[in-house]
Chain A
């Protein structure tokens, strides 16, 4: 009987593929939210496998804050072309210009929250009824309560106190007009699983995940990269450090970690001995104890 065992990584892979196929079967116009970050790369890879030898039957969608790392944008375009997928990009800048939202004021203006407006507009524009996201339950405590199939009302909002129970592998994707779903095939993956899968599959990932020299400023313990969108405070200076990124988001709120890890193997060793969560480098989560929950309720990723 022992030959009928799957390793945990294989089990996660088979589970994610099952979820991706359920999305294709239950929805009319799904989209895969693709940021060029490691989680969305793994998700896109799984989508490729789920429908092979056919193409991925939905577009990749990226909401570009305009403050992204150049390396990630380059990677995004290369990747979409590589797998022959349709790429839809919508810009927060356009939402601001159209008066749909206001640029944050203050010292550390972030467009991270504004993405929600652009994302919801994009969903409406294309009438997407399911958006696949690479979020994982191990990332953050509000996400630990998230379903695989997460229902959003007609305003795109999440109601955490009134979620549909999810049993066995039975996913209820039924909805009324104007409502949509966020679907998270990687729910049960951990940061370590994602890295191991990248290694196993030999996936190419953006260079900022590996050690490099970069000018950064240390703000409240978060190392922010030099960028025209950051105003230095008195006493703050940029200095060059050897860093890499554990997570890739908006450059104004994603911190680097000092690290010499230059290869996948070294990154994996580092993750294995890490003592700080991956979202610990995200300034957007440090705003309050419920920062993630509040953003998710409003329709964030």
Chain B
């Protein structure tokens, strides 16, 4: 790789202060060329510094390896470097003049579900790597299913190692057809295909002359321009109270502000809200953001709201609007990913954290387990162990204010915590509190197309 010229215009204030943020996840194994691809994106955008690179060269040499081992960039832990495996999600940062990027780099082999689910939970986009020689394999399906289940709105299928198939348009189209057929069973709103060679840089940062038949943009261009403005919910007003701010000083004697992060919709001073689960109404008097008073607040803003009257509301409550409310329910039907070596106890009790509310819950039923490689439902063996995904029915001790995960990733998600070890043992995506109320077709779509 040759050192790119310093783009002097990149970090001028106007540019920098108007850049937005794209969080993406990459999944795959070393063999897919994932590390090479990330290395190239980081290096070509100047996110790898000279000393890091020198260090990498030195360490590679010490280890007696021939090619510059770009995986050492992401394998930050001693155990990872020793074993040559990636244990944990690593976060990487780079920026171009258009956008800042956060990569959640997830390992392909070890504990793939746990790590991919973690990385995918906050991502706008997933890059799924396919080896052009191998086409769609089991791992591709696994990764795509998780991307779909976790509600990642954009998927880029990077067909890598095109150099090894002579940049064949026919081969590329075969893979596109193969993947499209498989993906029709999932619910991913936006899928793009790009033929690349991470090793040689074709269609990574610059468009390649070796794929004249390919009409789309290079990978980096796609990452820079994919439209993420409608990824967050700006329709259903949702605001979970985190904490109540009461200064108790002379200057702000009567100030009582509800602090939290907007999870959906738009709130404005003068709007009538209701506090759930009590259902008490009030009118928003003022909204305070980090830079002062605001005319409106939307996701994902952290704000403080004051109301026109005293209502009993505190951490764990949720503000919505009378005409647009979440379900207030103690029954939760959800897809759960399991992270603990101890299996999910099919009649056990766990601590459930949802939005800003924490409560106990009991597992009432395990509906089925998903065979993550074939995407088939298993109803006979429903023991949910580490890295398994299944559908469960839970009953909570206090009501939760929930939306289906497909509708809102904040009010539709929860984690399960072991009461005794305090470990995070599972992550859940709410399907619908009362599945019987929904038409069968919608239920099907809710389950990530399963």
Contacts and interface: CB of A to CB of B under 8 A. Distances in A.
Interface of A: 1-2, 4-15, 17-18, 21-22, 24-25, 46, 49-55, 137-138, 140-145, 160-161, 163-170, 172, 174-176, 187-188, 190, 192-193, 196, 199-200, 268-269, 271-277, 280, 289-290, 293
Given A55-B247, A167-B117, A280-B51, A14 B301 contact: yes
B410 interface: yes
10 contacts: A24-B243, A50-B302, A53-B251, A137-B91, A141-B74, A170-B353, A170-B413, A170-B414, A190-B93, A199-B13
* Number of chain B interface residues as a range: 35 or more
A138 B42 CA distance: 12
B230 A165 contact: no
Given A8-B19, A8-B21, A168-B410, A192 B351 contact: no
A145 B17 contact: no
B16 interface: yes
Interface of B: 6, 8, 10-11, 13, 16-21, 49-52, 55, 59, 73-79, 81, 87-93, 95, 99-100, 102, 114-115, 117-118, 121-122, 229-230, 232, 234, 242-243, 245-249, 251-252, 255, 259-261, 266, 288, 290, 298-302, 304, 315, 339, 351, 353-354, 356, 409-410, 413-415, 417, 422-424, 427
Nearest to A200: B17
Contacts of B234: 1, 4
B88 A145 contact: yes
B422 A172 contact: yes
Most buried by A among B59, B245, B302: B302
A53 B304 CA distance: 10
A275 B93 contact: no
Contacts of A274: 49
A160 B78 CA distance: 10
Nearest to A190: B93
Nearest to B10: A272
Contact of A165 (B92, B245, B339, B353): B339
A138 B302 contact: no
Nearest to A189: B93
Nearest to A292: B76
A165 B424 contact: yes
Given A164-B424, A170-B413, A141 B300 contact: no
A277 B8 contact: no
Most buried by B among A14, A51, A176: A14
Contacts of B17: 7, 9, 196, 200
Q: 7 tightest CB-CB pairs across the interface, nearest first?
A: A141-B76, A272-B11, A8-B21, A54-B247, A174-B422, A167-B121, A17-B302
Given A4-B229, A196-B17, 4 more contacts: A11-B300, A12-B21, A273-B8, A277-B52
A167 B413 contact: yes
Given A50-B259, A161-B77, A4 B232 contact: yes
Contacts of B6: 273
Given A53-B247, A165-B427, A170-B414, A293 B78 contact: yes
A25 B243 contact: yes
Nearest to B353: A170
B427 to A, nearest CB: 5
A172 B11 contact: no
Nearest to B428: A167
Most buried by A among B92, B117, B356: B356
Contacts of B300: 6, 11, 14-15
A202 B93 CA distance: 25
B307 to A, nearest CB: 16
A205 B258 CA distance: 32
A263 to B, nearest CB: 13
Contact of A1 (B92, B230, B252): B230
A268 B251 CA distance: 38
Contacts of B351: 174
B235 to A, nearest CB: 10
A174 B351 CA distance: 10
A13 B414 contact: no
Contacts of B87: 161
Contacts of A21: 242-243, 259-260, 302
B243 A280 contact: no
A199 B13 CA distance: 9
A280 B49 CA distance: 10
A293 B77 contact: yes
Contacts of B423: 164
Nearest to B16: A196
B302 A14 contact: yes
A139 B242 CA distance: 30
A15 B102 CA distance: 14
Contact of B73 (A8, A12, A141, A166): A141
Given A141-B76, A293-B77, A176 B50 contact: no
Nearest to A21: B242
Nearest to B351: A174
Contacts of B302: 13-15, 17-18, 21, 50
Nearest to A165: B118
Most buried by B among A4, A142, A144, A161: A144
Nearest to B73: A141
Contacts of A290: 78
Contacts of B93: 137-138, 188, 190
Contacts of B49: 274-277, 280
